[in-house]
Structure 1
Amino acid sequence: MSFSPQSKVWVYQSDRKFTAIEENEILQKLKSFTEQWKAHGNELLAKAEIRYGFFIILTVDEQQANVTGCSIDSSVRLIKDIEQKYGVDLFNRFNISYLLNDEVKVCNKEDFETLVNIKQITPATIVFNNMVQTLHDLETKWEVPFKNSWHSTVFAHLL
């Protein structure tokens, strides 16, 4: 199925990598959820995926039906259930992720600041912008060099 570039996306970042078994179980839960996800009785054109073993990404194409507060609440409940069942933190926006030797690393804001300070994070280091809101932005602005990210404005004094 084809999704509009303007489809809404939500990115939930885990504080640790899912095991292969966990990822399979979570993908099954996500698939079951997206297949029956509705907004005011209208089925939503939705999909879910896990990238890098860390990121749960939900996508909804609103050309078919608009997402409502209730439908968003149901997705948040699902993510909270996953969080509880697998003992992960999926809502901490202060955890920052980046690529190091093609491997995703997640750390808190203070540790990230230290890594920038000691030049472990460079202007070219790929960071993840989990604030993206559309499929187009996910494809073009999610994985970006530190120097082109919102992170660089927060930590600009260290560069």
Structure 2
Amino acid sequence: MEISENSRIWIYQANRVLNPVEQEQIQRRLNDFTSQWQAHGHQLTALAEIRYHRFIILMVDEARAGATGCSIDKSVNLMKELEDEFNINLFDRLNIAYRTSEDVTSCTREEFEALIETGKVTEDTIVFNNLVPTIKEL
């Protein structure tokens, strides 16, 4: 299925790296969810993927049918279920993810500020913005 680059997205960042088995199980749950995700009885054109072993991204092509409050609530409930099932935190907005030379890692805001002060994080460091609204802004 193709989805527009203008599709709306929601990014959920895990507080730790997901191992391959967890990623496979979570992706299966995401696929089941998006294949049946509806808004007011209309099937949503939706996909989901996991990036960098840490980010769960839900995508909805709203040109075809838009997500509504109730449909968004259903996706949030799924994320809460995944949190419980896999012992992860997907809703800590103060957990900052950034790219190191080897990997993507995360830390608290306070830890991140300390990394800036010590020069371990610089203006060249890629920091992930989990609030981007569309695919093209990823």
Looking at structure 2, the residues matched to 40 and 123 of structure 1 have their Cα atoms a distance apart, in angstroms, of: 45
The answer for the alignment partner of 1:117 in structure 2 is 117
Looking at structure 2, the residues matched to 133 and 92 of structure 1 have their Cα atoms a distance apart, in angstroms, of: 18
Gap runs ≥5 in structure 2: none
Q: Higher relative CO (CA 8 A, sep ≥ 6), structure 1 or 2? A: 2
Looking at structure 2, the residues matched to 119 and 126 of structure 1 have their Cα atoms a distance apart, in angstroms, of: 14
Looking at structure 1, the residues matched to 57 and 35 of structure 2 have their Cα atoms a distance apart, in angstroms, of: 15
Q: Deviations over 1:62-97 (max 9, x none)?
A: 111111000000000000000111111100000000
| TM-score, length basis structure 2 | 0.98
1:106 to 2:106 alignment: yes
Gap runs ≥5 in structure 1: 139-159
| TM-score, length basis structure 1 | 0.85
Looking at structure 2, the residues matched to 22 and 94 of structure 1 have their Cα atoms a distance apart, in angstroms, of: 23
The answer for the alignment partner of 1:60 in structure 2 is 60
The answer for the alignment partner of 1:145 in structure 2 is none
The answer for the alignment partner of 1:22 in structure 2 is 22
Letter of the 2:102 partner, please give it: D
Local SS of the residue matching 1:126: coil
Looking at structure 2, the residues matched to 12 and 102 of structure 1 have their Cα atoms a distance apart, in angstroms, of: 22
Letter of the 1:134 partner, please give it: T
Looking at structure 2, the residues matched to 85 and 120 of structure 1 have their Cα atoms a distance apart, in angstroms, of: 34
Looking at structure 2, the residues matched to 108 and 114 of structure 1 have their Cα atoms a distance apart, in angstroms, of: 10
Q: Deviations over 1:12-69 (max 9, x none)?
A: 0000001111100000000000000000000000000000100000000011111100
Runs (4+) off by over 6 Å: none
- RMSD across aligned C-alpha pairs, in angstroms? 0.7
Q: Deviations over 1:81-114 (max 9, x none)?
A: 0011111110000000001113011100000000
CA deviation after TM superposition for structure 1 residue 4, in Å: 1.7
> How do 1:37-116 and structure 2 match up within 5 A?
37-116=37-116
Letter of the 2:110 partner, please give it: E
How many residues are paired up? Answer: 138
